[in-house]
Amino acid sequence: MSPILLDTHVAIWSSQGLVPKKLGSIIDEAAKSGELLLSPISAWEVGILIRKRRFSVSVPLDDYVRTLFSRPGIVTAILTPAIAAASTMLPDSVGSDPADRLLVATAAAYGARLATRDARIARFAEETGRIRVLKC
């Protein structure tokens, strides 16, 4: 099995038990085998969502992020300079969102499947074959 990188929204849903059953089983298997990745960019993205009032939590941001990243089986992906640089060289079809670009570059670097509902990323994956996507 190849690693799975969770897009931020999937990480949030997963922490709340809101992913579809089939995807939940795949995520659980990846967690058990130590192949469930979460990028540090997701901590940044959660903070942005909270600041823009598109997501709310009942605890301080630091506590929420710490809990999200310490869930059983989560491995924090390393955001390397090479991944950051690679994200800038992706085609415009990935979109301009820095978090999405970093997630795509991270998935490519780790050879991971990216669990996402983002249609633009899914199209990029289908058209280029540079990453694989688990659609939500």
Distance of CA 99 to the CA centre of its chain: 9
Total domains in the chain come to 1
Closest by Cα among 51, 41, 42, 44 to 13: 42
Query: Which CB contacts under 8 angstroms, 24+ apart, belong to 125-128?
Result: 127/93, 128/91
Instruction: Output the domain CATH number for residue 88.
Output: 3.40.50.1010
pTM of structure: 0.96
| pLDDT tens-digit profile, the chain (136 residues) | 799 999 999 999 999 989 888 999 999 999 999 999 999 999 999 999 999 999 999 999 999 999 999 999 999 999 999 999 999 999 999 999 999 999 999 999 999 999 999 999 999 999 999 999 999 8
- Cα pseudo-dihedral 38, 11, 2, 135, rounded to 10: -140
Please give the helix or strand (H or E) that residue 115 lies within, else none: strand 113-116
Retrieve residue 118's tokens.
Answer: 């983002």
Full residue range of the structural domain in which residue 117 is found: 4-135
pLDDT recorded at residue 115: 97
